């Protein structure tokens, strides 16, 4: 990270004001005087694919806003198997549970190279106390997290493997239907959809064979969105 970025993060000034996704992140509604309330460092971090941001049970001392890439939240089942319970895109906040004094509930792992801002819990708590603008954002984030969890449970944990994969691809392509999306490894796909790796592999192969997706590069596919919608709705 550049020296100027470190200085700005310690002062709580320029980098948050000029954030490229400012309208999406936790500080979207802050006014100019609010930045004077930030006295602990907000640090920009970069994680390679597969790197862990935090683990379930860790003492939650910070929340993370996603600036780029994709983060998966993982829960381990009693038999040791993992289940991906949510995906976080740019603008999402990870670790909100720490703001009510709880440890992290999941393990957060970068699915793709990711950029995040690490915001100390004390910064959020102080802003929450002293400016109603952040409080509104926090309430909206809690609501979004609950809605995303409900949507994930409904769409990716019900129906057959074909329906689940179609719904996941529709989610991934929602922001830019005409652009290719990156497929995850079969282990990750299985953990997201609650199916075995073998079933995930067979279903992806079937989608390619039926031209529901067209591979444009290794593990990168262009989705036939109308056809996938039909699969997702099928009984």
List where CATH 2.60.120.10 sits in the chain: 3-155
- Give the CATH number of domain 158-233; options: 1.10.10.10, 3.30.590.10, 3.90.550.10, 1.20.1260.10: 1.10.10.10
Element (H, E) at 213: strand 213-217
What number of other Cβ atoms are within 10 A of residue 215's Cβ? 13
Q: Indicate where the chain has its CATH 1.10.10.10 domain(s).
A: 158-233
pTM of the model: 0.74
Do residues 82 and 75 lie in contact, with contact meaning Cβ atoms separated by under 8 Å? yes
Q: Residue 51 in contact with residue 122, Cβ under 8 Å?
A: no
pLDDT in tens for each of the 235 residues of the chain? 344 443 444 344 335 555 544 444 566 666 666 666 565 577 888 999 999 999 999 998 898 988 888 899 999 888 877 888 888 888 888 998 888 889 999 999 999 899 988 888 888 787 777 777 666 767 777 667 777 777 777 788 889 999 999 999 998 888 788 899 888 888 999 988 989 999 999 999 999 999 999 999 988 999 999 999 999 987 5
Give the H or E element holding residue 126: helix 121-130
Q: Are 169 and 204 in contact (CB under 8 A)?
A: no
DSSP string across 31-96: -GGGGGG--S--EEEEE-TT-EEE-TTS---EEEEEEES-EEEEEE-TTS-EEEEEEE-TT-EE-G
Q: What are phi and psi of 173, to 5 degrees?
A: -95, 5
Helix (H, G, I), strand (E, B) or coil at 120: strand
CATH topology of domain 3-155: Jelly Rolls (2.60.120)
């Amino acid at each position: 990270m550049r020296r100027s970025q470190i200085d700005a993060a310690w002062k709580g000034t320029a980098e948050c004001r000029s954030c490229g996704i400012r309208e999406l992140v936790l500080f979207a509604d802050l006014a100019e005087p609010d930045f004077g309330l930030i006295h602990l460092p907000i640090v920009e971090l970069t994680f390679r694919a597969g790197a862990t941001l935090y683990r379930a049970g860790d003492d939650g001392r910070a929340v993370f806003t996603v600036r780029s890439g994709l983060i998966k939240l993982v829960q381990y089942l009693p038999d040791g198997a993992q289940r991906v319970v949510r995906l976080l895109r740019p603008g999402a906040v990870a670790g909100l549970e720490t703001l009510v004094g709880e440890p992290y509930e999941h393990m957060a792992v970068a699915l793709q190279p990711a950029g995040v801002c690490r915001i100390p819990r004390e910064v959020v708590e102080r802003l929450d106390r002293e400016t109603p603008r952040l409080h509104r954002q926090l309430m909206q984030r809690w609501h979004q997290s609950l809605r995303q969890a409900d949507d994930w449970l409904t769409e990716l944990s019900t129906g057959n493997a074909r329906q689940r994969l179609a719904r996941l691809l529709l989610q991934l392509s929602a922001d830019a239907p005409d652009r290719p999306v990156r497929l995850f490894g079969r282990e990750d796909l299985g953990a997201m959809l609650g199916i075995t790796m073998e079933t995930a592999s067979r279903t992806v192969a079937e989608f390619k064979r039926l031209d529901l997706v067209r591979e444009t590069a290794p593990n990168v596919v262009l989705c036939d969105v109308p056809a996938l919608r039909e699969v997702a709705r099928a009984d």
